[in-house]
Amino acid sequence: MLRLFAATAVLAAPSVARAQTAVNQGGPMTVEAVTERYAIAPEVKVSSFDGATRALVGGHGGVVVGSRLLIGAGFYTMVNGSHGQGLTYGGGVVGWDWWNSRTLTGSIRGLVGFGDGTATQNLTLTDHLGRSFNEARFVSSGFFVTEPQADLLVRLTKHLHLDVGAGYRFTNADHSLSDRFNGATGSVALRIGPAQ
């Protein structure tokens, strides 16, 4: 069966090539080369985490296919957590420039990946005399993360854009920590490379 499939593919290839050549010559179809360019965007995020507003640094980047599709990766880590707190995550990024003008571009993108974080957990303990006291513990968890985001890019030069965005981080952290790890995000990035 495999040999039959291979033989059919070999015999069909020249006829497919001829058919494409025939359609392209003098017909209404226009064949354009798909361009691939690269873009990178160092980024600062402000996000709610563990009941407080925190700052994360990182960035995203990848290949811009055609003039609108970005395929790449992103990575972020928290820089101002309280002692013992932490959040780091990253993954694949796909973005789409759905609207553009000479100076402004509207874009949506999403990150899907994995991360690790440490949050505080306040416990109320009672000793053998019946006295209660609070104790803060640090609880860590790995998690799966998705982060959809909408961006507005402002053209500064042909290959330099100011990227302002807003999104939300969804996680499945253990120990009932998802509510502490999930959070709205706001970001500012400087995108180096094409936006359209």
Could you report the per-residue pLDDT of 50-101, keeping only the tens digit for each?
888 999 999 999 999 987 899 999 999 999 977 778 999 999 999 998 888 8
Taking the C-alpha atoms of residue 89 and residue 118, their distance in angstroms, rounded to an integer, is 12
What value does the mean pLDDT of the chain take?
81
Element (H, E) at 18: helix 2-24
Instruction: Tell me the CA distances in angstroms from 107 to 96, 162, 166, 179, 193, one per residue in order.
Output: 6, 12, 11, 27, 15
The per-residue DSSP string of 137-152 comes to EEEEEEEEEEEEEEEE
Same domain membership, residue 18 and residue 46: no
- CATH at residue 121: 2.40.160.20
- Domain around 2: 1-31
Domain shared by 9 and 63, yes or no: no
Q: How far apart are CA 98 and CA 180, in angstroms?
A: 32
* Apex 150 CA angle, 144 and 151, nearest 5: 125
Assess whether 12 and 59 both reside in one domain.
Answer: no
Do residue 140 and residue 101 come from a single domain? Answer: yes
Q: Is 170 exposed, middle or buried (0-12, 13-18, 19+ CB in 10 A)?
A: middle
- Tally the domains of the chain: 2
Residues 83 and 123 in one domain: yes
In this prediction, residue 172 has a pLDDT band, given cuts at 50, 70 and 90, of very high
Chain centroid to Cα 192, Å, comes to 16
- Stated pTM of the model: 0.75
